[in-house]
Chain A
Amino acid sequence: MLIKILRQYQVHVVAGGGGAPTSFLYKTFRNSSSSSSSVKKMTVREALNSALDEEMSADRRVLLMGEEVGEYQGAYKVSKGLLQKHGPERVVDTPITEAGFTGIGIGAAYYGLRPVVEFMTFNFAMQAMDHIINSAAKTNYMSAANISVPIVFRGPNGAAAGVGAQHSQCYAAWYGSVPGLKVLAPYSSEDARGLLKAAIRDPGPVVFLENELLYGEAFPVSDEVVDSSFCIPIGKAKIEKQGKHVTITSFSKMVGFSLKAAEILAEDGIDAEVINLRSIRPLDRSTINGSVRKTNRLVTVEEGFPQHGVGAEICASIVEDSFDYLDAPVERIGGADVPMPYAANLERMALPQVEDIVRAAKRLI
């Protein structure tokens, strides 16, 4: 079973723009040394929590709604402290009906509020799919901009550990195919903070796909990231590691796996370029194509089912725009084409592992 190790790091908070954070969210970090050794680290959970807190403090129209977000402090503690700080009108514990509370959030967005709707997992969001697509994604277009929908749908996506088929599906490809939506998939704490803030500030509906296993993972963050005005533009991928022999595209948890694969490949003299997509829709075709034109080889990595997946779209994009630059066919790494099994050994076989990425890259060289 999953053992969550919550690494508590003291975080230095720059008090800019937003309201003062409550004391049990942060401890002030005092660093006497002025040299380069002070490394600030922040978990993805803290990144999301702080982003929500700052955006709610900065704009009274932003509210959080979902199951267990208030009194329970969040099913995964992402909304810890927010009810106490912002009150029950801004942090709304909803009854159990994804379809219902999604509809309500969208209605509130229709009339000027900026809701953040939390799904306990995007697997449950399937019950709200009609509202997400027909009431949110298409509405600005269908109403000829009479009705805008500034709403964020967020929650864990993809596999956790040992939660079985109905709790493990990745929905990046599903939402990524719908015009009218923006779909984001953060990996690091910097991604989580910057992209969530961008999502909340965006005037249209945004699907924000988090990952349960990443919540507890800590990443180094710069001063810029910690500042309350920090924001990452939507639609730009990040090259996490430069390389020249093969391009590896990935998002969310798979970015970490791809970086580990790149380390292993380096031992064999293969210099991989790892791209963190950050944005599934719009897809940063220009960065991906630019990279493949440099390396001439591509491995796409995702947790989700391979058919009609994100990798398939990336492959099509390369074939359309950079066909002549390919020295080898595109390799697609995805989850096994089966509903996720529960047994730990079977689950491991059903998800991409670092070795799979390494082998795929080697096949291309």
Chain B
Amino acid sequence: MVFRRFESARAGEAEEAVTYSTSDDDDEIYDAENKAIDFPGGRVAFTPQIKFISESPDKRIPCYRVLDDDGYPIAGSTYEQVDKETAVKMYKSMVTLQIMDTIFYEAQRQGRISFYLTSMGEEAINIATAAALSFDDIILPQYREPGILLWRGFTLQEFANQCFGTKDDYGKGRQMPIHYGSKQHNFFTISSPIATQLPQAAGVAYSLKMDNKEACVVAFTGDGGTSEGDFHAGMNFAAVMEAPVLFICRNNGWAISTPVSEQFRSDGVVVKGQAYGIRSIRVDGNDTLAVYSAIRAAREMVIREQKPVLVEALTYRVGHHSTSDDSTKYRPLDEIEHWKTARSPLARFRKWVQRNGWWNDEGETELRGSIRKQLLNAIQVAEKTEKPSLEDLFTDVYDNLPLNLHEQEKSLRETIKRHQKDFPSDVPV
């Protein structure tokens, strides 16, 4: 009796021999005639050996680096050349960012502003990324990327205006300090909830793609942000929709007091890219030239191929999470000190720039003195400037003032007239 196995005609056609290569000695015993078959999602080869993919690779994904700790180019490193003008501008911006952080942080400590958050230790990521992008690239920041605004021409006074919430603040005094935003600088207003900007970036890119511009969307997050559901949605969607988003993860080792060892058990963030079908690279975030080259290359891919790319920049958060945090409570002082000095991105890049003959100690002293003076002046001006006027309490909730807010404003003004002495004198009416 002939026994016929039931076979799908299509599946039968799909079967084909696939060579089975492996580094394992045991598998050489196996017959090379292996089969592949179609499943929803595509063709996949079979294996008769039960073999689990390890939870961690033998070696961690290596980190792209150009300059060593002393600022010497590593032999054999490939990187994009940076001319004198760009290099000096980058270095000066890094110094400006560092001093701005120091002074505004002090201002908060003195009670002159309510809150501040520094980018200390991440100046290279901030400035080298900004330099590598074009002005037309749309930034959706997390909150530790003010260097991008700085590079694009946001002045120290404009930073101060936002921190002090004056009438000159482009945000009309609506947000707490460091929540900058500027339409003309293509920098989306910072929003506090973590990682919400990631799916938003996919949406912005979806719209931008229709414009056919030589530009992409750049979305930032920290290591902590990758735990949010929005990270998954943003990365997954950007890949599926083929949205031109450059995802940059600043892996600085700490999410407030949570170290990365408690944040995820993967090899950092770079390995997550492949899980979404996204090309990715790991770069030394404290190496200005490496970050510059990596972002240039990534941006090129995103725009040319119209698909997302992930860059993980390894670095260290030298400052506290914010002025509401004291990181000495959960990490050792000498660790912070080590990264602040021996691993400083500024010191490293400065050595390279100075060795090229493009910078010197006099320039350094002069620059630091000048920036400090400008900042103190900006703070003085901001402190003397009027706060936004009362009408800004009610505008922009909707595009036009609705009836109920008209009534409330009217009622408020009448109350103020009746009780003048109870109303603060420095708020214009």
Contact of B203 among A95, A107, A134 (CB under 8 A): A107
- Whether, in the assembled complex, B208 has its beta carbon less than 8 Å from a beta carbon of chain A, the answer is yes
- Whether, in the assembled complex, A187 has its beta carbon less than 8 Å from a beta carbon of chain B, the answer is no
> CB-nearest residue of chain B relative to A108?
B203
CA separation between A89 and B237, bound complex, in Å? 14
A99-B229 in contact given A108-B206, A146-B181 (Cβ < 8 Å): yes
Q: Please tell me if the beta carbons of A106 and B171 are within 8 angstroms of each other in the complex.
A: no
- Whether, in the assembled complex, B398 has its beta carbon less than 8 Å from a beta carbon of chain A, the answer is yes
- Whether, in the assembled complex, B351 has its beta carbon less than 8 Å from a beta carbon of chain A, the answer is no
Count B interface residues, CB 8 Å.
47
CA separation between A130 and B197, bound complex, in Å? 12
Q: Please tell me if the beta carbons of B398 and A147 are within 8 angstroms of each other in the complex.
A: no
CA separation between A285 and B408, bound complex, in Å? 14
Q: Please tell me if the beta carbons of B200 and A97 are within 8 angstroms of each other in the complex.
A: no
CA separation between A94 and B392, bound complex, in Å? 38
CA separation between A143 and B172, bound complex, in Å? 8
Q: Please tell me if the beta carbons of A282 and B229 are within 8 angstroms of each other in the complex.
A: no
Q: Please tell me if the beta carbons of B203 and A144 are within 8 angstroms of each other in the complex.
A: no
Candidate in A110, A112, A134, A204 with the most chain B CB atoms within 10 angstroms: A110
A103-B234 in contact given A139-B191, A142-B189, A143-B189 (Cβ < 8 Å): yes
A225 CB to nearest B CB, Å:
26
* Residues from 222 to 244 in B contacting A, C-beta threshold 8 Å: 229-230, 232-234, 236-237, 240
CA separation between A97 and B398, bound complex, in Å? 28
A112-B402 in contact given A100-B234, A143-B189 (Cβ < 8 Å): no
> CB-nearest residue of chain A relative to B192?
A134
* A/B pair count, beta carbons within 8 Å: 139
Q: Please tell me if the beta carbons of B189 and A147 are within 8 angstroms of each other in the complex.
A: yes
CA separation between A235 and B401, bound complex, in Å? 13
A147-B188 in contact given A100-B230, A103-B198, A111-B204 (Cβ < 8 Å): yes
Q: Please tell me if the beta carbons of A144 and B196 are within 8 angstroms of each other in the complex.
A: no
B424 CB to nearest A CB, Å:
21
> CB-nearest residue of chain A relative to B388?
A144
B379 CB to nearest A CB, Å:
22
| Chain B contacts for A353, CB-based, 8 A | none
- Whether, in the assembled complex, B396 has its beta carbon less than 8 Å from a beta carbon of chain A, the answer is yes
What size tier do the contact residues of chain A reach? 35 or more
B179 CB to nearest A CB, Å:
8
Chain A 7-27: CB-based contact to B (< 8 A → 1; otherwise 0): 000000000000000000000
- Whether, in the assembled complex, A155 has its beta carbon less than 8 Å from a beta carbon of chain B, the answer is no
Q: Please tell me if the beta carbons of A113 and B207 are within 8 angstroms of each other in the complex.
A: yes
| Chain B contacts for A110, CB-based, 8 A | 188, 200, 203-204
Q: Please tell me if the beta carbons of A140 and B397 are within 8 angstroms of each other in the complex.
A: yes
CA separation between A294 and B267, bound complex, in Å? 71
Q: Please tell me if the beta carbons of A143 and B196 are within 8 angstroms of each other in the complex.
A: no
> CB-nearest residue of chain A relative to B174?
A142
* Residues from 142 to 199 in B contacting A, C-beta threshold 8 Å: 169-172, 174-175, 179, 181-183, 188-189, 191-193, 196, 198-199
CA separation between A203 and B191, bound complex, in Å? 20
CA separation between A131 and B198, bound complex, in Å? 12
| Chain A contacts for B170, CB-based, 8 A | 144, 146
Chain A 113-140: CB-based contact to B (< 8 A → 1; otherwise 0): 1010000000000000011001100011
CA separation between A236 and B211, bound complex, in Å? 38
A99-B233 in contact given A142-B191, A146-B182 (Cβ < 8 Å): yes
| Chain A contacts for B202, CB-based, 8 A | 103-104, 107
> CB-nearest residue of chain A relative to B138?
A111
* Residues from 68 to 121 in B contacting A, C-beta threshold 8 Å: none
A235 CB to nearest B CB, Å:
7
> What are the nearest 6 A-B pairs in CB distance?
A100-B233, A107-B203, A103-B199, A107-B200, A108-B203, A104-B203
| A-to-B contact residues, CB < 8 Å | 89, 94-95, 97, 99-113, 115, 130-131, 134-135, 139-148, 179-180, 182, 203-204, 235, 282, 285
A and B contact pairs by CB, cutoff 8 A, 22 listed: A89-B210, A99-B199, A100-B233, A101-B199, A103-B203, A104-B234, A104-B237, A107-B204, A108-B203, A111-B138, A115-B203, A131-B196, A134-B191, A142-B174, A142-B191, A143-B171, A145-B395, A146-B170, A146-B182, A146-B183, A148-B399, A182-B398
